[in-house]
Every structure is written in structure tokens, then in C-alpha cells.
Structure 1
Amino acid sequence: MSHAEHVALAERLYAALGTGDREALGEILHPQFTGRTTEGLPLGLGGRYDGPQDMQRDFWWRIGRNYRARAHAESFHALDDGRLFVSGRYRGEAIASGAELDAAFVHLLAFSEDDRILGLEQLTDSAAWAEALSAPAGLETIDYSVRDGLAVICLDRPGRRNALDLRMAEETLAVARRVAADATVRAVLICGNGPALTVGGDIEVFAKAAPGELGTTIDSMVTPFHEALRILSLLDVPVVTAAQGSVAGGGLGYVYVADIVLAAEDAKFVTAFAALGLTGDGGGTWFLPRLVGPRRAALMYLDNRPVGAEEALEWGLVSEVVPTDELRKRAMELATRLAAGPTRAFAGMRRLLRDSERTAFSEQLLAEIRTIATAADTADATGAVVAFLDKRRPEFQGR
């Protein structure tokens, strides 16, 4: 291919990405395509992607769910090894915050013998991507703050017992993206203002749906909420949830994504879907059988069985039961302690525990070797060993 043909193919790539044209990308990218993207990009997007499907699903489409942005190529230069050097800028905005994105990029494009793109190496200003994603945005239903490494996500519709509506679902996604993009966050606390963590979906919203449109209404709420739960479940920092009063319906998702759940003595957990003739959301059909067992999960779903705090502890749905008037204080103390812990090690623990459900024992042992060796090379581990020998408490920096 000539230089002009390489440039034309690169421009086709950027146009297809701008419009989300999967068919065009299938024609442009070689089956053995490899992408390498900038380390340090938010949402864990930096790294290597093998194959066009991985690049599209795990990189480009994830960018599309978090940003409205396009690559604007400004110059093209042919390299002696046959690759094309492209420089330009990504311009657009972060969906969650509405903040402007303007980040320089360099792409190195490699080409196959059958005139397709075989590889893409990307360099870009990762800080600009993270800054746009984490920029402040107006929140009405969630009180969100980050202090001393602890991100607090507090549901804030106490007059409606923190019932989930479209606004809260979208704001949950916004703050989940913020947490994932904020390198200063070392632990997360999820809680709720008022007498309940959340009673689940707002029935008043459901009642206002026109005949035949309830499914569309629920879909519009559940889609951003589920993406938020997915992000929270994959964070590399510990998540603590404080549950009080009613915890129902899809709102149980805030419990499912946590590593540690403190329940007030007055907490009551109920799926509630059968009472409304619905099937369930919030990840319950995946999490509950794994947490409490398939028989108990079926009982909670089919018979709409409420589960009190002590029974939830016995079943494995929560980690600890505490006096109701001490819940927030105890949860804050625990989350603060975790935020001061070995963050990199916590990330490895969380991944190992999460992946163990689908990993064979022999593979899990190998994963443990890799993970503990990586953790051992961190500054926190080195400092902790020295502190142990000196008979003093280690001070972890999250590095």
C-alpha cells in the first residue's frame, strides 16, 4: 500500500469509531489485530488487547459508554518500517460529568499484507482522560465525597426511603465512574441517609408509566444502574456497605457489590419482585445463589421471603450485625481503616476472590503465586516487613 492508501485507511478507522460502525471495523481490522493502549488510563483501559473483538468490546466500546469523544487526526507520517505515525487530539466530553475532554494522542498503525490494520499503539494524555471523568457534576440523590482516601457514596432520598428512580440510577453510575477514575480512592463506603439503605425501585415511578410502557421505564433505570454495579464490583479497592432498615429489590445490588456488609439490627432484606410480578435486577440472580446458596436464593425470590439481620448473618448475606444507632460510626471506622491499608494487596485479594468462582483450583494456585509475587514487590510490602522486624505497626501508602 502507498502512503496515501495508509492514510485513507486510518481515516476510515477514525470515521468508523466515531459512528460506531461495527461492520466497517470488521473490514478494516485484521483478524490478528493487536492493540496497545496507554497505561494509566482511567477505568483500567490501559494495556494490551488481542484481536479486533477484544479491542472493540473492552476498549473502544467501554470508552463509548463513558465518553462522547472522537479522534481528530492532524498529521500523518510514513515510517521506514512501514508503519504510519498519526498525531492528533481526542475531543469530546465525559458522559458522567459533562466535563470537556481534550487530549493529545499519537498512534502507530501497522498494516497487513491484505491491506488491513494489523496493529495500533496508542500514546495519550491519560491525566486528561481521568480529569474529565472525575470532574465535579451536580448530584441530587447521592451525597458523594472523598477524604483521606475514602470515597463515601451515600444515597440521599430519605423522604422516599432512598427509592431508586432514574436520577439515582444515573447518579450511581456517575459516582461509580468517578471512583474508578480517581487514583486517590483507597476504599469505598456505601450507605444511606434516613431510616433505610434503600427500598429498591420507586413504585411511584412505576405507577406513572403508561400501559405497555413499564418495561421501557424499568429498562431505562436498570441499564445505568447495572453498569454502575459492574464498575463497583470490579474496583481494585475494598467496598463496605452499611445496611439499615429496608433493603429491597434492585437496591440489594448495593449489598452484593460490597466485600464487607455491616447490617443494623433493624435491617431486613427482601427481593420484593414476586409481589410486583417482576423477575429481578441488581445482580441478585447471580450473587444470591453464591452468597446464600441456590435453595435459599430461590426462597427469597419465589416466596418473597424477608430475611432479618441475624438470619442474613447466618446465611452469609452480611458480615456483621451491629446496633442500629452505631451502624454509621462502625462502618465509617472500618472503611477508614481499610483506606489506610495495603491498597495494592487489597486489589489482588479482591481479584483473586472474585475470579475463584470460575477458576479451577490449579489455575487459582498459579494466580495466587503471580499475585503475591507482584504484591511482594510493592513499597507497602517492603515497608511492612521492616516494620514487623522493628516491632512497630506498618504505615501503608497504597503503593
Structure 2
Amino acid sequence: MSYVETENRDGVLWLWLNRPERHNALVPALVADLRSAVALAAEQAPPALVLAARGRSFSTGGDVAGFLENSGSVEALKAYSEQLVGGLHTVILDLLAFPAPVLAAINGPLTGGATGLMLAADLVAMAEDAFVQPYYSEVGFGPDGGWTALLPDRIGTAKALQIQYRNERIGATEALVLGLATCICPPEELESQIRSWTNEIAKGYAQTHRATREKVWDDQRRAEVRSRLDQEKTRFLELVTRPETLEGMRDFKKERA
């Protein structure tokens, strides 16, 4: 069973995160499936790519249970974290380099590093009851997925720091004001909103959309993002094996058991 389903809707490719029983929490296998799906989608050159998710959540970020299951040794935990965070960052960079507009349908909670999938999208439709939240300071992780590499450029350094220091929850309305969401709508209208955008996009020249995206996310800009993501990963690997982080993970899991 794949953790990512690909659906072709009139030429537009929808990639569905498919681990709903765990709120689409990220594990290396899911990230690997997503990377493969994005690569295959790029080869097909669709007019647009849509990121969506099965279940009630878009994604709750890295699965804390997965980290704990691999915490038997420092080496094992670092290797697991490298797979997960490194793989996620590769997916984000692949999305930034995708040769067509990337859209995201945020149907529910979006937390931790999975937020990078939204940050890599061009147009974001967000359900009225969805939210974004970092949670790093609740566990002891270093930020990943672009919380320091991409978010400050989107909403300003001070606001990005405020949200992370205070572990603030960004509701859909605030996400719209901040420019993280393009629009908000009732959950049942999320897919129709995305379809209206993909229909508009399909009316334009694909070569123009591609040229626009390539100039916005040119080699230099993506190299800068890559460097920042590498710094996030390095810091994540430094913090994840600390005793206080392991304690934070256990407490976090216990509170949600």
C-alpha cells in the first residue's frame, strides 16, 4: 500500500497523502512515496499539480511515535531523522522546481515540518476549520520543513519568530491575512475551489506558467533555500538525540494517547 495516491482529473494530477489513521503524520516511507509521486508527475508535465490529504488532517508533521521507535541508539535515531527530514526537504525542493503551478488543499490541521508542503505551493485553499501550528517548542525539536528557511520571507521575520516562540496556532482567517492561504472556504467546497483554479490555469499557456515559476524559483533562489533547509536539518539532528528532547517526545505522545 502506498502512502500517496495519484489521481488524474482532466490532466491535472492530484497527490493525496494517504495515512489518515495517523493524521497523515510523516514517516520515511510516506516521504519517499511522495518524492516518487512528485518525480513521476513532473515527467507527465500536467497543467497543474495539487497536494491534498485523506482524512480529517492534512498532516501533523513528523510522527513522534516513529522517532521513539528508533530511539534505541543515537546512531539509529539520527539515521531515521536524516531519512525523514532529509527526504522531506528534498520533496520541498522538488516542488519548488516543479514545471507547473503547485496548488494545495488544506483540509485540516497542518503542523510541524509538513507545513513546508504548503509553503512550496503557489495557491492554497484552506478549510475554515483548518489551522497551522509549529509544535517544536512542545517537543524540543529544531524547526524543519521551512519554518526558518521559507516562512520568514513569506510573513516577516518578527511574525515567524513570534509564532514559533509562542507555538501559536494560525487559524484559516489569519493564514489568509498573512498570505499563507489564497482563500478559505467550507471544507465541503475545498475541492471545487481547487478545480476552479485548475480550470483557470488550464486556459492559459503552460509554457508561460512554467517560465513564470522558473523565474520566481530560479537556480539561485532554490540554492539559497536548499542551504537554509540543510541548516535546519543539521540543527534538527543535533537536538533530536538530546535527553530533554527524548523526554519531550515521550511526554507529547503520552498527552495524546
What TM-score, normalized to structure 2? 0.80
1:186 aligns with 2:53: no
Counterparts of 2:144 and 2:37 in 1: how far apart (Å)?
A: 20
Give the deviation of 1:195 after TM superposition. 0.7
Contact 1:149 1:339 in 2 (8 A): no
Give the deviation of 1:188 after TM superposition. 0.5
Counterparts of 2:183 and 2:219 in 1: how far apart (Å)?
A: 23
Counterparts of 2:30 and 2:201 in 1: how far apart (Å)?
A: 26
* Counterpart residue type for residue 191 of structure 1: A
Instruction: Give the aligned partner of residue 201 of structure 1.
Output: 62
Instruction: Give the aligned partner of residue 142 of structure 1.
Output: 4
* Counterpart residue type for residue 192 of structure 2: K
1:270 aligns with 2:137: no
Counterparts of 2:37 and 2:141 in 1: how far apart (Å)?
A: 27
Counterparts of 1:221 and 1:339 in 2: how far apart (Å)?
A: 34
Residue deviations 1:276-305, cap 9 Å, x none? Answer: 101121122121001111011111222211
Give the number of the structure whose alpha-carbon radius of gyration is greater. Answer: 1
Contact 1:143 1:156 in 2 (8 A): yes
Task: Tell me which of the two structures has the higher relative contact order, counting C-alpha pairs closer than 8 angstroms and 6 or more residues apart.
Answer: 2
* Counterpart residue type for residue 281 of structure 1: D
Counterparts of 2:127 and 2:219 in 1: how far apart (Å)?
A: 29
Which of residues 137, 146, 149 is equivalent to 1:286? 149
Aligned Cα RMSD in Å? 1.8
Residue deviations 1:149-191, cap 9 Å, x none? Answer: 21111111111111111111100110111122223x1100111
Residue deviations 1:310-346, cap 9 Å, x none? Answer: 0111111111111122112212332243234311111
Residue 356 to residue 208, structure 1, CA distance change in 2 (3 Å): closer
Contact 1:206 1:217 in 2 (8 A): yes
Instruction: Give the aligned partner of residue 174 of structure 1.
Output: 36
Instruction: Give the aligned partner of residue 382 of structure 1.
Output: none
- Give the 3-state SS of the residue equivalent to 1:285 in structure 2: coil
Please show how residues 287-302 of structure 1 align to structure 2 within 5 Å. 287-302=150-165
Instruction: Give the aligned partner of residue 85 of structure 2.
Output: 222
1:154 aligns with 2:16: yes
The percent identity for this pair of structures is 28
Counterparts of 1:352 and 1:320 in 2: how far apart (Å)?
A: 24
Please show how residues 1-399 of structure 1 align to structure 2 within 5 Å. 140-183=2-45, 185-209=46-70, 210-212=72-74, 213-355=76-218
Residue deviations 1:226-274, cap 9 Å, x none? Answer: 2121111111200110112110111101101100011110111011112
Residue 356 to residue 216, structure 1, CA distance change in 2 (3 Å): closer
Counterparts of 1:196 and 1:339 in 2: how far apart (Å)?
A: 28
Counterparts of 1:356 and 1:167 in 2: how far apart (Å)?
A: 28
Aligned length: 219
Contact 1:180 1:231 in 2 (8 A): no
Counterparts of 2:160 and 2:54 in 1: how far apart (Å)?
A: 28
* Counterpart residue type for residue 228 of structure 1: V
* Counterpart residue type for residue 344 of structure 1: Q
Residue deviations 1:177-214, cap 9 Å, x none? Answer: 1122223x110011111111111111111121224243
- Give the 3-state SS of the residue equivalent to 1:191 in structure 2: strand
Counterparts of 1:195 and 1:267 in 2: how far apart (Å)?
A: 9
Counterparts of 2:103 and 2:126 in 1: how far apart (Å)?
A: 11
Gaps (5+ residues) in structure 1?
A: 1-138, 359-399
Give the deviation of 1:355 after TM superposition. 4.5
Contact 1:149 1:340 in 2 (8 A): no
* Counterpart residue type for residue 310 of structure 1: T
- Give the 3-state SS of the residue equivalent to 1:286 in structure 2: coil
- Give the 3-state SS of the residue equivalent to 2:5 in structure 1: strand
Counterparts of 1:355 and 1:242 in 2: how far apart (Å)?
A: 25
Give the deviation of 1:143 after TM superposition. 1.1
Residue 323 to residue 233, structure 1, CA distance change in 2 (3 Å): same
Residue 265 to residue 356, structure 1, CA distance change in 2 (3 Å): farther
Gaps (5+ residues) in structure 2?
A: 222-257
Counterparts of 1:293 and 1:248 in 2: how far apart (Å)?
A: 19
Give the deviation of 1:354 after TM superposition. 2.9
